[in-house]
Amino acid sequence: MKGDLVLKKRWLLSVCVLFLAVLAACGSEKAEEGNEKGSKSEPSNTTQLDISATNFAFDQEEYNITAGEEVTVKLSNEEGQHGIEIDELDVSIQGDGEATFTASEPGEYTIYCNIPCGEGHNDMKSTLIVQ
Ligand SMILES: [Cu+2]
């Protein structure tokens, strides 16, 4: 009978240890989830700037952003094949695509097409206004 009691105690102890191990595993999983959520919320600080291009113009003559904010510019070609280039900000996209930049200095920057797309190519210019 004494031996039975010892076995029972050992069994109880191992059940407790197992239980604690499971709890610890759950706890660390939750911590990781929290970290993921933390990093997912960061891109929401990025401003999305959509530009579409046709033959031979961008959809707006002027685009406005705020100095110091991170901007993801996305170019969609609706007609023809164009690109955008902003020299001062190191932005260069050819065809459909995205680029991320931060303009720290307020001012006016020229957005121009960087693909020789036809007779209206030289007119494909818009202004990025950074305030
Ligand atoms: Cu062009």
Q: Looking at the 3D structure of the chain, how many domains does it have?
A: 2
Q: Note the pLDDT of residue 3.
A: 64
Q: What is the distance in A from the centroid of ligand 1 to the CA of 58?
A: 10
- Kindly state whether residues 38 and 51 are assigned to the same domain: no
Among left, alpha and beta (phi > 0; psi -120 to 50; other), residue 80 is: left
- Kindly state whether residues 7 and 32 are assigned to the same domain: yes
Alpha-carbon distance of 21 to 23, in angstroms, equals 5
Q: What is the distance in A from the centroid of ligand 1 to the CA of 130?
A: 23
- Kindly state whether residues 72 and 103 are assigned to the same domain: yes
Q: Note the pLDDT of residue 19.
A: 67
- Kindly state whether residues 91 and 36 are assigned to the same domain: no
Q: Note the pLDDT of residue 15.
A: 66
- Kindly state whether residues 97 and 114 are assigned to the same domain: yes
- Kindly state whether residues 50 and 97 are assigned to the same domain: yes
- Kindly state whether residues 66 and 19 are assigned to the same domain: no
Query: Does the pLDDT of residue 8 top 80, yes or no?
Result: no
Q: Residue 122 gets which letter from DSSP?
A: G
Q: What is the distance in A from the centroid of ligand 1 to the CA of 91?
A: 15
- Kindly state whether residues 35 and 68 are assigned to the same domain: no
Q: What is the distance in A from the centroid of ligand 1 to the CA of 126?
A: 12
Domain encompassing residue 38: 2-42
Residue 105 contacts residue 39 (beta carbons within 8 Å): no
**pLDDT digit string, tens, across residues 9-50:** 776 667 656 666 665 665 655 555 545 554 454 556 899 999
- Kindly state whether residues 87 and 113 are assigned to the same domain: yes
Q: Note the pLDDT of residue 21.
A: 67
Q: What is the distance in A from the centroid of ligand 1 to the CA of 102?
A: 24
**pLDDT digit string, tens, across residues 63-120:** 999 999 999 999 999 999 999 999 999 999 999 999 999 999 999 999 999 999 999 9
